Amino acid sequence: MTRKMKESGVEWIGEIPDDWSITRLIYLSKDEPNSIVDGPFGSDLKNEEYVDFGIPIVQLNNINAYNHNLSNKVYISEKKAKALSRHIAISGDIVIAKMMPAGRSCILKNDFKEYIVSADCIRCSLNNRYNSHFVLYSLNSYIIEEAGILSKGSTRQRINLSLVKKFRIIDPPLPTQNRIASFLDTKCSLIDSTIEKEREVIDKLKEYRQAVITEAVTKGIRAGVPMKDSGVEWIGEIPEGWNKRKLNGLLRSIGSGTTPKSNPLYYDGEYPWLNTGDLADDFIQNVNKTVTELAIQDHSPLKLYDAPSVVIALYGATIGKLGITTYPLTVNQACCVMTTKPDLDYKYLFYALLGIRKYLFILSYGAGQPNISGETIKSLQIPHPPVSEQHEIADYLDTKCSDIDATIQKRELAIEKLTAYKQSLIYECVTGKKEVLG
């Protein structure tokens, strides 16, 4: 017999079973003071009060959907934790992110006896009339939609404690909650396990791709050729007919760029302006920003580089990232642009730099974040086969990497589909559209 459904009155929830109701999150919390609170703000807890061991602080980066990850732990002393006792959380409590995205939630595990939540998080201790796993599935399903709507108008999509207390939660009978939570725990565990296996395969495929590139640019693709010592530790042996050359002697030009001053007359113009975030180890088809003719005139380091050129990120989170330009463009100061002479195939250079990227990280320097200088790039030695062989290697790697990338893409698509199925299954179950029988 089909269950009777009714309108919930909440657009993103839709219909729910007739014997279910809607309540507010505040009514799910324990019947005691401070059962739902956010973390202490800067005036109550300063960074300099962090210690090496003690009570862990749950921060935004510790909240994964459904689970908490304490790989990047910070601590405060037990004495300081006592002074912040209203912000203490324990195993089984739910922690809700105020942003990035707002509403993302996890349940604390019993890794530690106590935790403290940070100012960007909210801790909710549920009363025993609710199954915490059922509530967690609800929060990470339709509540993220509500949180996004409630935080509109805020540049950072942020919610506060008052809004979280008003979150609308579907409220089935407790035995039903238990059934749904148990069903989803089992199903989601199987889906997560399959996703994890797919990710492991992707990681192995990426390692294989890197190995193929490194082998081709240092040893070549012709079997059985005599080898000789390159004299460079990280290159090792190379074919007898190859040389090693410093990049500077193989480049027609090498240079960087700059960031124009903050003036609206310098931006949104007709010239593409490449930033390191546009680099993805591939051909550069589009960039996100542009500059004007006036910007180029007023900033001597801002030059228009010919295509095809090879671009490498010199510092920051994207250090070592590469790209091949397909049209003339300008770049910022974090990019190094290399245009090759006739005796260096630009695609071979691209693959050679990909193949020795680990070595580039070793050459990087600087406190806080690694850096590679333009001078380091110029003095870099690379294996240098005859030009005809460079073309062969580049063509071989184009085909080989394209095949590997296609396989990776299929695996990534499988993960996307599994993730979408998991989200859909959770939503269907916690809103009652899919009946979970005992």
pLDDT of residue 1: 58
SS3 content of the chain, % helix, strand, coil (to 5): 40, 25, 40
Task: Give the type of residue at 81.
Answer: A
Split at pLDDT 50, 70, 90, the class of 366 is low
pLDDT of residue 144: 77
What's the CATH class of domain 243-384? alpha beta
Average pLDDT over residues 129-138: 94
Task: Give the type of residue at 167.
Answer: F
Region of poorest pLDDT, from 167-171, 366-370, 379-383, 394-398:
366-370
Split at pLDDT 50, 70, 90, the class of 368 is low
The whole-angstrom separation of Cα 28 and Cα 128 is 9
pLDDT of residue 143: 83
| pLDDT (tens digit per residue) in 22-67 | 999 999 988 777 789 998 877 678 777 888 889 999 988 888 877 7
Q: Domain extents for the chain?
A: 5-171, 243-384
Average pLDDT over residues 117-127: 92
Average pLDDT over residues 95-111: 88
Contact 119, 79 (CB under 8 A): no
**pLDDT for 300 beyond 60:** yes
Checking 239-243 for CB contacts under 8 A at 24+ apart, the result is 239/385, 241/385, 241/386, 241/389, 242/383, 242/384, 242/385, 242/386, 242/389, 243/383, 243/384
**pLDDT for 355 beyond 60:** yes
**pLDDT for 365 beyond 70:** no
Comparing 102 with 38, the larger pLDDT belongs to 38
pLDDT of residue 67: 74
pTM confidence score: 0.84
Quick one: 193 exposed, middle or buried, by C-beta within 10 A (0-12, 13-18, 19+)? exposed
Taking CA atoms, 378 is separated from 55, 249, 257, 343, in Å, by 49, 8, 16, 16
- β pairing state of 330-331 and 267-274: parallel
Split at pLDDT 50, 70, 90, the class of 317 is confident
**pLDDT for 313 beyond 80:** yes
Percent of the chain with pLDDT over 70: 96
The whole-angstrom separation of Cα 150 and Cα 167 is 9
Report the CATH architecture of 5-171.
Answer: Alpha-Beta Complex (3.90)
Split at pLDDT 50, 70, 90, the class of 182 is very high
- Which residue in this structure is represented by tokens 């399959």? 194
pLDDT of residue 176: 96
The whole-angstrom separation of Cα 32 and Cα 288 is 51
Task: Give the type of residue at 269.
Answer: G
pLDDT of residue 259: 97
pLDDT of residue 361: 78
**pLDDT for 155 beyond 60:** no
pLDDT of residue 153: 52
Q: Which of 46-60, 133-147, 331-345 has the highest mean pLDDT?
A: 331-345
Quick one: 71 exposed, middle or buried, by C-beta within 10 A (0-12, 13-18, 19+)? exposed
In order, the DSSP letters of 181-250 are: HHHHHHHHHHHHHHHHHHHHHHHHHHHHHHHHHHHHHHH-S-TT--EEE-S-TTT-EEETT-EEEEGGGG
Split at pLDDT 50, 70, 90, the class of 157 is confident
